[in-house]
């Protein structure tokens, strides 16, 4: 079921078209990723979705509500790239100020969020004294206090180490499971987009492709089957795919489909000593669609 629908969304800054007539939808409970390089238009899109930027054209609807309606804002939580919390206040005070903006706050849910994000031990610490990972956990917890349906995360992982990233995702995935939280994230991190249910690949303000990550990879990338053999001449003779001979014992074969790989290995079994199979990566996909790597 679609939670948010955006149609023909467009934003210009003077003559620069930052977001160019894009359409997308976010289904309830899904993790959606907007993947794109610097300047692709990801933050501008989020800005319009959270109501801080006015689109030049297009329409946004969250269950029939638009971003200029108060009820829209009760249903969303936002974590911006740069924190908006008060450096000189404690974590607790920052959370209280936010909570007071809402008429109804479920205090048992707030307690749960504080516990889940592991910030119960730093509640009295000033925000500015926290580490990068602690700050990010507090930012996300603050955005969730009113139990929104949809959480926007604009580059939530930039600058965080892998352990902190994993810990944050563990908690977010738990909330998705227990409360059906829907998440839209923008990211440069290919691994992060890889975990999404649905990905929009954005470049120069346009959606270059969208879909299920695995299906996109299958459609736009080729996998690589590396074979090692002592009978290379015979082996080459039997391969009808594009290949590259690495040395006299090793060959790399381009394969479109897993079942082709299985059939090829089965038919060449007596000639193969060893093999390795690698699927196309998100980076291959990105290069294919935009002509450049993501990083």
Ligand X SMILES: Nc1ncnc2c1ncn2[C@@H]1O[C@H](COP(=O)(O)OP(=O)(O)OP(=O)(O)O)[C@@H](O)[C@H]1O
CA atoms within 13 A on the CB side of 113: 24
CB-nearer residue toward ligand X: 194 or 206 = 206
Residue 42 Cβ vs ligand X, minimum distance, rounded to whole Å: 3
CB-nearer residue toward ligand X: 41 or 156 = 41
Q: What is the chain's length?
A: 295
CB-nearer residue toward ligand X: 56 or 256 = 56
Give me the residues that bind ligand X (CB under 6 A), please: 13, 16, 18, 36, 38-44
Residue 55 Cβ vs ligand X, minimum distance, rounded to whole Å: 13
- DSSP letter, residue 126: B
Q: Is 197 exposed, middle or buried (0-12, 13-18, 19+ CB in 10 A)?
A: middle
CB-nearer residue toward ligand X: 180 or 293 = 293
Distance CA 117, CA 107 (A): 15
Distance CA 284, CA 293 (A): 8
Residue 47 Cβ vs ligand X, minimum distance, rounded to whole Å: 7
Q: Answer yes or no: are the C-beta atoms of 251 and 224 closer than 8 Å.
A: no
Other residues' Cβ atoms within 10 Å of the Cβ of residue 74 = 17
Residue 276 Cβ vs ligand X, minimum distance, rounded to whole Å: 34
């Amino acid at each position: 079921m679609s939670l948010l629908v955006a149609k023909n969304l467009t934003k210009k800054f003077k003559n620069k078209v930052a977001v160019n007539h894009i359409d997308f939808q976010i289904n309830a409970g899904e993790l959606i990723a907007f993947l794109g390089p610097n300047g692709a238009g990801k933050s501008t899109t989020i800005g319009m979705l959270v109501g801080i930027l006015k689109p030049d054209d297009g329409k946004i609807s969250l269950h029939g509500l638009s971003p200029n309606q108060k009820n829209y804002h009760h249903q969303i939580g936002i974590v911006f790239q740069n924190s908006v919390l008060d450096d000189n206040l404690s974590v607790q005070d920052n959370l209280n100020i936010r909570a007071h903006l809402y008429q109804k706050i479920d205090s048992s849910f707030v307690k749960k969020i504080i516990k889940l994000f592991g910030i119960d031990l730093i509640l009295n610490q000033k925000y500015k004294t926290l580490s990068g990972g602690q700050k990010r956990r507090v930012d996300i917890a603050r955005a969730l206090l009113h139990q929104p349906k949809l959480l926007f995360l604009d580059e939530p992982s930039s600058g965080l180490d892998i352990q902190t990233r994993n810990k944050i995702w563990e908690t977010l995935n738990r909330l998705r499971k227990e409360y059906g939280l829907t998440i839209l994230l923008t990211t440069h991190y290919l691994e992060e987009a890889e975990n999404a249910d649905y990905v929009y690949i954005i470049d120069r303000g346009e959606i270059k492709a969208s879909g299920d990550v695995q299906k996109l990879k299958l459609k736009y990338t080729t996998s690589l089957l590396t074979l090692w053999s002592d009978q290379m001449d015979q082996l080459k003779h039997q391969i009808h795919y594009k290949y590259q001979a690495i040395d006299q014992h090793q060959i790399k074969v381009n394969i479109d489909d897993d079942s082709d790989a299985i059939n090829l290995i089965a038919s060449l079994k007596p000639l193969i000593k060893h093999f390795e199979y690698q699927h196309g990566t998100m980076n291959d996909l990105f290069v294919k669609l935009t002509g450049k790597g993501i990083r």
